[in-house]
Structure 1
Amino acid sequence: MNIHSNKITIMKKNVLITGTSTGVGFESAILFAKNNFKVYASMRNLKKAVELEKRIAEENLDIEILSLDVTKIDSINAAVKTIIEKDGKIDVLYNNAGAGFAKTTEQSTEAEIRWVTDVNYLGVVFCTQAVLPYMRKQKSGQIISITSVGGLVGQPFNELYCGAKFAVEGFMEGLATYVGGAFNIKFTCIEPGGISTEFMTSAIGKTAVDGEFATGEYLPIFERYMAGNQKRAQESKEQVYQTGLEVATVALEVAQNEQPPLRIRTSKWAEDFCNLKTKADPDGTKLVQQISKTFL
């Protein structure tokens, strides 16, 4: 708070959000801006910023659009430098950028394996690496990463995607055990189930992109998998698939929480799906405390 001329001004927190051209990132940028955040909305392809630019103009939102490709370190560092030069700080990093992928390990190319890892895991690592020096210096900050129920539970044809999301979970948990307490930096993994956005369309596209994928001994398993996906997609009354706004709302609640959890699921379906993995320590707080005590 700044006090000047008997007026109290509440300083906005700023937030860098990756992957804001569509889906959860798009909804998050708008929602955070409407709730007293200065939003730096980043995306790889600025040609996809048209809809967000339209909403910014219509609603007079405090959002600045930045170019940021999470697979390129120079792009990440340039975006962070821009924010620091303008605001002198970064309060929240919101790692949202990611991409679905469903294909067998055997039938995935080296390029595909590297791509799914770069987008879903290494992008989080390098974005986090870029902001940590500033958060550490200011002795405050928050890093939020969209992972998935696939970051807790491995699933058919999703092992490469799940592997990347498991890695994000371990990365965030490890940081929380020592960086969190020492420098007042908070870490949270947000774990949605299915999301009804372009993300799901992309995931299915990556599944069926090669004609040879749905052949051979994997074919009957794959057919059962796809049939199950279609059935769940039709069960909207059970909210298997959430909207981007519903997930963005959970992210906002985490960003506004003075004591946010290490991990949080975004729906009852997601909670039930992960129950066997999470019931002993649903929000991850106990484990972080135990590990910190054990090693530090």
Structure 2
Amino acid sequence: MKKNVLITGTSTGVGFESALLLARNNYKVYATMRNLKKADALKQCIQEGDLDIEILSLDVTQRDSIASAVNHIIEKDGRIDMLINNAGAGFAKTTEQASEEEIRWVTEVNYHGVVFCTQAVLPHMRKQKSGRIISITSVGGLVGQPFNELYCGAKFAVEGFMEALATYVSDAFNIKISNIEPGGISTEFMASAIGKTAVNGEFATGEYAPIFERYMAGNQKRAGESTEQVYQTGAEVARVVLQVAGNDAPPFRIRTSKWAEDFCRLKTMADPDGTRLIDQIRASFL
């Protein structure tokens, strides 16, 4: 019997590529997105490849929308084998220049959405005594970076949430949890992040402007000199998703490239995949 997978944010990028790759490898995929008007490319691939993918509406910032998608899958299949928390949005702006609305938005999309989707599937996975929760986080969930403090803060929150959850649901209910941590991804995600740096049509202003200019110049230099190392494609990250999905003993944390591994090394060298720390926490508290 095919295992079924619920993936958020599948209109483009990692979510889009993961939906296709998992379906091609004998998973039944429920590919969700906030705006179904962006589903045309995925629909075409489904038709051309005769893939077992059903597209559903799901807005990770709306609990009713999440519940509707989860209930649909349970009514149809009676179970959810895997949740892939992929939906997210980049954001690069100084804390001073970010509006309250923007701060709430970046947190809702990147953190609260993960919590709410996880909360929605946990009862079903607990009852069936099995499940997998894979979250696409970021190296920004381990290492803070200039002008990305609000985005990094949300991703740090996901890392902490999943780390704490893994300490007890994995053993008690056979729910395996993994965080996949890419570096830069050359998809619409990056364009969106850069687009949201503007303040009234301009980039960082005042005393922040020269710092921001150095930041952007560094990004462009790295992209030009080592695109293959720094910026991965959605398809490359999707291959790591497939690898983790099929692993009977998946790592808690995994970076998706050598660049990402090197970038996080000071944070991860004592426990690269995060499993030693989780074992230590279990031994200390449980």
Please report the RMSD computed on the Cα atoms of aligned residues, expressed in angstroms: 0.8
Equivalent in 212, 217, 239 of residue 222 of structure 1: 212
Cα displacement (A) at 1:144: 0.2
Aligned residue for 2:90? Answer: 100
Identical amino acids, percent of aligned pairs:
80
In the TM superposition, 1:121-160 aligns within 5 A as 121-160=111-150
Aligned residue for 2:232? Answer: 242
Q: Separation in 2 of the partners of 1:184 and 1:236?
A: 40
Aligned residue for 1:30? Answer: 20
Q: Separation in 2 of the partners of 1:167 and 1:210?
A: 29
Q: TM-score, normalised by structure 1?
A: 0.95
Are residues 1:205 and 2:195 paired?
yes
Q: What are the Cα deviations for residues 114-149 of structure 1, in whole angstroms up to 9, with x where unaligned? A: 000000000000000000000000000000000000
Cα displacement (A) at 1:101: 0.1
Q: Separation in 2 of the partners of 1:275 and 1:223?
A: 27
The secondary structure found in structure 2 opposite 1:125 is helix
* Unaligned stretches of 5+ residues in structure 2: none
Farther-moved stretch of structure 1 (235-244 vs 109-118): 235-244
Question: Cα gap change, 1:181/1:155 in structure 2, threshold over 3 Å: closer, same or farther?
Answer: same
Aligned residue for 1:162? Answer: 152
Q: Separation in 2 of the partners of 1:237 and 1:154?
A: 21
Equivalent in 58, 72, 79 of residue 89 of structure 1: 79
8 Å CA contact retained: 1:144, 1:189: yes
Cα displacement (A) at 1:215: 1.3
8 Å CA contact retained: 2:9, 2:33: yes
Are residues 1:291 and 2:269 paired?
no
Q: Separation in 1 of the partners of 2:44 and 2:163?
A: 38
Cα displacement (A) at 1:232: 1.3
8 Å CA contact retained: 2:93, 2:204: no
Q: TM-score, normalised by structure 2?
A: 0.99
Q: Separation in 1 of the partners of 2:200 and 2:15?
A: 28
Question: Cα gap change, 1:99/1:55 in structure 2, threshold over 3 Å: closer, same or farther?
Answer: same
Q: How many residues align?
A: 286
8 Å CA contact retained: 2:3, 2:81: yes
Moved over 6 A (4+): none
Are residues 1:232 and 2:222 paired?
yes
Matched residue type, 2:179: C
Q: What are the Cα deviations for residues 166-221 of structure 1, in whole angstroms up to 9, with x where unaligned? A: 00000000000011110000000000000000000000000125335421110110
